[in-house]
Structure 1
């Protein structure tokens, strides 16, 4: 599977900026990785929405995964299989994008300090 970049919407870009400021983090990829994992661990239906990337940003896949590409792909594949979702390359790319966006929404709605990330 080849993923070159993770694309984020303008709303996700604003959420990242807020989260970076709130928690004192420097890198978008760190927050997005946590958002992906948080969403994957959260039960419930993943809404299949059409996203507009106009005014958003892109993160290089290798930067996003810090060299652990197979690990993140396998996490999403496992989620797909556990949730009876279609598993092919395009679907996995789409699920990653949707999970990152859902996870950013979850994180943006929290008011706790950073310690909740360590639980």
Structure 2
């Protein structure tokens, strides 16, 4: 399945937020935290705000590392969400919405004062 992006670079702000999350949760891999963040944003009923997102950090991931074994499922979830939001699924829209959802999700996780350890990520699912 064609991914929405081949590779992507995070904003410096997102890198700093993920660094905080890595410290708190003891999850030391960017891709795992990014998957959680992406899914966290997809779970929100609202469309992410179309804000400019600089790719100004030194953290770059390729889609196959980001998605791992779930890469195709994450692509399908993004396409379904774009359809649901009435945005279409052309390549540019998918790439833009992926970055918006990823960065929004990182912000949500980093801003969650109840998220102090890996077990707290699991609690998010139960809520």
Q: TM-score, normalised by structure 1?
A: 0.91
Task: Determine if contact 2:9/2:57 at 8 Å carries over to the other structure.
Answer: no
Aligned position for 2:105 = 103
Where does structure 2 lack aligned partners over 5 or more consecutive residues? Answer: none
Q: Using the alignment, how far apart are the partners of 2:10 and 2:100 within structure 1?
A: 9
Structure 2 CA distance for aligned equivalents of residues 117 and 82 of structure 1 = 26
Q: In the alignment, which of 110, 117, 121 is matched to residue 117 of structure 1?
A: 121
Flag structure 1 segments of 5+ consecutive residues without an equivalent. Answer: none
Query: Following TM superposition, by how much is the alpha carbon of 1:86 offset from its aligned partner in structure 2, in angstroms?
Result: 2.3
What is the CA–CA distance in structure 2 between the aligned matches of 1:56 and 1:79, rounded to whole Å? Answer: 29
4+ residue runs over 6 A deviation: none
SS at the partner of 1:98? Answer: helix
Corresponding residue pairs, total: 119
TM-score with structure 2 setting the length: 0.86
Residue in 2 that maps onto 1:39: 41
Displacement, 1:56?
A: 4.3
1:4 corresponds in structure 2 to: 6
Q: Distance in 2 between matches of 1:23 and 1:117?
A: 8
